[in-house]
Chains A and B, each alone.
Chain A
Amino acid sequence: MTAIDLRAAQRPNAPTTTYRYDDYDAAFVRERVAEFREQVRRRLSGALTEEEFRPFRLMNGLYLQLHAYMLRVAIPYGTLTARQMRRLADIADKWDKGYGHFTTRQNLQYNWPKLVDTPDILEALADVEMHAIQTSGNCIRNVTADHFAGVAPDEIEDPRPTAEFLRQWSSLHPEFSFLPRKFKIAVTGAEHDRAAILVHDIGLRIVRNAEGEIGYQVVVGGGLGRSPFVGKVVGDFVPRHYLLAFLEAILRVYNRFGRRDNKYKARIKILVHEKGIDEIRAAVEAEFAAMDRSVFAHDPDEFERIAAYFAPPPYETLPPTSDVLRAAKLDAPAFANFVDVNVSAHKIPGYAIVTVSLKPIGGVPGDATSDQMRVLADASERFGFGELRVSHEQNIILPHVKQDDLFALWRLLDAAGLATANAGLVSDIISCPGMDYCSLATARSIPIAQAISKRFSDMSRQRRIGKLGIKISGCINACGHHHVGAIGILGLEKKGQESYQITLGGDPTFSASIGEILGPGVTAEQTPDVIEHLVDFYLAERVEGETFIDTWRRIGHARFKDVLRREGEDGADI
């Protein structure tokens, strides 16, 4: 019997495909909760000032926002079990206001926790092998990954063992707990980038060399925020046994040369931009050559131990297509649309990957009620080996659904308001919380997403438009990834009013690009009109098979600017 089988035997209904804490992990997280409980006690007693306490609460994911505290819970590489999802729902009911917000970092945020309750919340998370460590602060944050990891047909290797390996390496790393700024790592093992690795501080792409060996293409210096950059390749093929040492070398170079004098220039992307990738590469290679690499020597047994946790679930042997599915699609057009839009091909015959949209028409992107979380947990257990994923697009993925079960799953989701068939379409909008919650925001973003979603509420029109990523941020920090939206929207303040700057041509994939500004900012009321004009122009200009960004790249930014200028002259006041 393998270790995986043992886990399942110990815990009925436990999924067989996710990492499980060992005794060390469990003790480490419990100790951290106890430590934070004591820090909160000392803060409330006055033994710690806010200035002294603030770094401690941030290291445990607790922010102070516009209306209340906010707790950001880490969901490593976006993978959740049904049990964990239920616990998130229970926490939302017991200590928050009955809902949570899934973020572009594959995490979950509670918007209303009380400081006094936070240690109990962290204790409840620890019960299900979760925590909020390193979801804030100038450290290596939650490592993100392709949300189709392990099931995508275009995958060379499942990125989750690498992501978990990096999580363990980076958790409370003494040298990297006080970096110049925060540091984000993303991993993909597929031919198509669903993890936006080129806009992370470090992006890892699992590749195979000419000899067939697995290694990593290492990209550094990508990022969004005030100064967006697409990352550059610093290592074309880093063998697995050198990965930790190579990343350690990058972090050391950043730690030594990163700008600590100006927080707006402190990210590694600025260092890469100012020095140039050749100088950075030389510095990394020099550090790599000089360092004692034995400390970071690859332990294949440890990697295999971790990888074993992500072994495939016990799939059935099935035909590649399902007669049950075909018949159900004919009987129920709404279901057929759901399958066409929200269901993706799976690497195992007879199975499918289901994207559950958290973007109902007019809803708050990424929000799920506690009841919906429980439905998702139930659905994953009934139809998907008890496993769920959070995508950076703020949706939930059920990665292992039999095609035969899709109709029953759809009915369950539909009854819970979770069957919106818009994955990847114009209403599947990424949006940060914006000024409705966030203390850093300069404008609201959620109401803009809602207004655009309602404007395109006709689902057949959405399907005609096709894949189109709209991404909205409520400030220049770009949590809503607006720079890499085919249409990006940035909320700013202009003369005491909310103003929205629109960009076109952003792309978060391997063909990454940063969007270009369309023109002067527009008001909240004008924004849906502008978006609709842009979409209509694209529909008029596209040739068969083109997505919005394809057309934009072919005909150029100026044509899109011109059409809006003409609309303004015609009295549309845009």
Chain B
Amino acid sequence: MAQFKHPQILIASNLTDGEVVFLGPSGWERDHRRARVAQNAEEAAALEASGKRDISANRVVDVYLADVEIGGDGAPTPMHYRERMRVKGPSVRLDLGKQAAASGGAP
């Protein structure tokens, strides 16, 4: 198991439409701010175990843990720019992806 350095969330892609999803308290969420945050290695392992179950249940694919930092509002933000891109959408099309819905843009 990789050394636990930062809080983590579990990221995946929804099987049917490919959209990025995050494991929340009671299932997969499309908004990363509702993700469950693992504060230690044991909690991270529990997230991964849930992810593996949902791979087997054909709900999600491409599941992995991502390091996050916790903002003043308590919401997690990915630390790496790749995952920051995934929680928003293409930086060159702000009208698309999750960022569009957040700003009331095109679906």
Contacts and interface: CB of A to CB of B under 8 A. Distances in A.
Interface of A: 43-46, 50, 64-69, 97, 111-116, 364, 435-437, 444, 446-447, 450, 496-498
B96 A435 contact: no
A64 B18 contact: yes
Nearest to A65: B18
Contact of A67 (B57, B80, B89, B92): B89
A66 B16 contact: no
B86 A67 contact: yes
A43 B58 contact: yes
A437 B96 contact: no
B85 A66 contact: yes
B61 A64 contact: yes
Contacts of B80: 496
Contacts of B91: 436, 444, 447
A443 to B, nearest CB: 8
Interface of B: 13, 15-20, 55, 57-58, 61-62, 80-82, 85-86, 89-93, 96-97, 106
Contacts of A450: 92
A437 B90 contact: yes
Contacts of A115: 15-18
A111 B106 CA distance: 15
A436 B99 CA distance: 13
Nearest to A98: B106
Given A46-B58, A364-B92, A446-B92, A114 B82 contact: no
B86 A64 contact: no
Given A66-B82, A67-B89, A114-B18, 12 more contacts: A43-B58, A44-B15, A44-B58, A64-B13, A66-B86, A68-B17, A115-B16, A435-B85, A436-B92, A437-B90, A447-B91, A447-B92
B52 to A, nearest CB: 12
A67 B93 CA distance: 12
A553 B41 CA distance: 56
A116 B92 CA distance: 27
Given A50-B55, A97-B96, A435-B85, A67 B90 contact: yes
A450 B90 CA distance: 14
28 contacts: A43-B15, A44-B58, A64-B13, A64-B18, A65-B18, A66-B20, A66-B86, A67-B18, A67-B90, A67-B97, A68-B13, A68-B17, A69-B18, A111-B90, A114-B18, A115-B16, A116-B16, A364-B92, A435-B85, A436-B85, A436-B92, A444-B92, A446-B90, A446-B92, A447-B91, A450-B92, A496-B80, A496-B81
B86 to A, nearest CB: 6
A65 B18 CA distance: 8
A115 B82 CA distance: 23
Nearest to A434: B92
A364 B82 CA distance: 19
Most buried by B among A65, A116, A436, A498: A436
A69 B55 CA distance: 17
B62 A64 contact: yes
Nearest to A445: B92
B62 A114 contact: no
Most buried by A among B13, B58, B61, B90: B90
Nearest to A444: B91
B82 A435 contact: yes
Nearest to B90: A436
Given A436-B91, A498-B81, A116 B17 contact: yes
Contact of B19 (A45, A68, A498): A68
A444 B88 CA distance: 14
A112 B89 CA distance: 11
A447 B106 CA distance: 21
B17 to A, nearest CB: 4
Nearest to A446: B92
Contacts of B82: 66, 435
B90 to A, nearest CB: 4
A370 to B, nearest CB: 14
Contacts of A113: 18
A50 B20 CA distance: 16
A44 B92 contact: no
A45 B13 CA distance: 17
B18 A44 contact: no
Question: Which 8 residue pairs are nearest across A and B when measured between Cβ atoms?
Answer: A69-B18, A436-B90, A68-B18, A114-B17, A46-B58, A446-B92, A50-B61, A116-B16
B50 to A, nearest CB: 17
A97 B107 CA distance: 9
Contacts of B97: 67
